[in-house]
Structure 1
């Protein structure tokens, strides 16, 4: 098995940093106190292979709210197909695109082989529990793939007047509670420690077993202790490692994590790869069933 499964990987490529993120990228670099050096796919794959980490690559489509072009699902799928032992791909659709978004998420899973859906409600400017987007959520539940939602504060637009128009209220985890109740067969992952609403996330996870949390975007020494303690104890089966690469590298995340005394070796393995493995295995079974159904028809 790999050393870890990194559940939250963005690509430090020209296509993502300069085209898709555009003006948001510099604010994010200031927020994370880092300068992202652009790399090609070969370098990124080599970095993850050297560390024995499988990365979950995230597509991005916030075109309606930002006017910026997406980092498309085909782009991510091409990389995953080129490095199938190194990467897993999550699709992105712009929920404001309605029927087109529903068709695209189905194509991304059934034809491109992507294994999840990624949303950023703050940048995409939507509430996950808004009934107008429920047909899309119904399709994702039908496809039996997890849906990953950014939660908590936001590095994009941070430290600027008006936050570059991004509204933090969209990313409160409490809206995922409604979604989890209305779609009990949908696996929902709250991305990041959800600060300043991390206690909301804990309450939701305690109440609804179809909700998970990835700990990306924060180095462990900055993650609220309440969250780390439940990740090490009663909710240990539903937390996932994520880095938020390239803004935080896996090496930087591990440097802090290795100093924590919360986690037994068994729970450490759950957080770093076992929980992700189980979650993704569910998705791959669904994909195999789709493939068999297509062949039978």
Structure 2
């Protein structure tokens, strides 16, 4: 038991305290159209996110994406997000984001975020950040994450960012093939990796990597469970029952919608609580009062 109804492993912060958006206007508009989410619902602040999840007796992993080199758009500061999360202990769990193209500066920033701001992991979006995850230029960054015990969460598969715009705004889907994470998992066996989303069109690749590499998890964010590929449901029920994680992709997909559809999914009763909170609690080292992290 964790004391949580659920732990959402995938929540985006898309506006800073002073109103700066996480994406350029044209990408934000395209994403909103793709997910059919608009207006204020598209950009809740950290305090609003905390209130939303606290009301539902859930915890949430929150982050932004730093893709400044690829997009030219300054990110929301991960330091700001982490410090705001500190005001909501037990509800919000801060992850950071660093631009892998910044080299040694990114490594130093990652270390500071963990040591000074309590960041528990890092979000990467290879398509938006325009890098191959197994490019050796990112390896010093992974070395730092592995040494600090931080989790590395990678977007995989299709993305709504840039969808429907001319040329997809230059965003290339090939960067998000989860098979490339096999190299990272092999070269950094103590780095805890999360493959985010059903990895369309590479679902089998994601399942193969996760079943072969025990340091790899899969989160189920970004899709309603009623659209999950059957092989993903089968593996979640069996070989990967201890390494599949609930994630919504809030605010573009709400946990209310996700959980309602998950209730109708053919998941074994003993596996359901693992996916909703048990696996994430173990991965994150979370406990309810009086419990052990490995309970």
TM-score (norm 2): 0.92
Structure 2 CA distance for aligned equivalents of residues 198 and 227 of structure 1? 7
What SS does structure 2 have at the residue aligned with 1:134? helix
The residue correspondences of 1:87-102 to structure 2 (distance < 5 A) are: 87-102=92-107
- Counterpart in 2 of 1:71? 76
Q: CA deviation at 1:33?
A: 2.1
Q: CA deviation at 1:35?
A: 2.0
Task: From the superposition, tell whether residues 48 and 247 of structure 1 become closer, same or farther in structure 2 (CA, over 3 Å).
Answer: same
Is the 2:10–2:249 Cα contact (8 Å) retained in structure 1? yes
TM-score (norm 1): 0.91
Q: Which segments of 5 or more consecutive residues in structure 2 lack a partner in the other structure?
A: 287-295
Match of 1:162 among 152, 167, 185: 167
Structure 2 CA distance for aligned equivalents of residues 253 and 182 of structure 1? 34
- Counterpart in 1 of 2:291? none
Compute the RMSD of aligned alpha carbons.
Answer: 1.6
- Counterpart in 1 of 2:28? 25
The residue correspondences of 1:4-153 to structure 2 (distance < 5 A) are: 4-13=6-15, 19-22=21-24, 23-36=26-39, 37=41, 38-153=43-158
- Counterpart in 1 of 2:198? 193
What SS does structure 2 have at the residue aligned with 1:203? helix
What SS does structure 1 have at the residue aligned with 2:189? coil
What SS does structure 1 have at the residue aligned with 2:175? helix
Task: From the superposition, tell whether residues 125 and 145 of structure 1 become closer, same or farther in structure 2 (CA, over 3 Å).
Answer: same
- Counterpart in 1 of 2:270? 266
Larger helix fraction of residues: 1
Match of 2:281 among 266, 277, 291: 277
Structure 1 CA distance for aligned equivalents of residues 219 and 237 of structure 2? 13
Say how many residue pairs are matched. Answer: 281
- Counterpart in 2 of 1:292? none
What SS does structure 1 have at the residue aligned with 2:217? strand
Q: Which segments of 5 or more consecutive residues in structure 1 lack a partner in the other structure?
A: 283-297
Q: CA deviation at 1:77?
A: 1.1
Q: CA deviation at 1:140?
A: 0.9
Task: From the superposition, tell whether residues 18 and 217 of structure 1 become closer, same or farther in structure 2 (CA, over 3 Å).
Answer: farther
Structure 1 CA distance for aligned equivalents of residues 28 and 277 of structure 2? 29
Structure 2 CA distance for aligned equivalents of residues 17 and 272 of structure 1? 32
Is the 1:17–1:25 Cα contact (8 Å) retained in structure 2? no
- Counterpart in 2 of 1:287? none
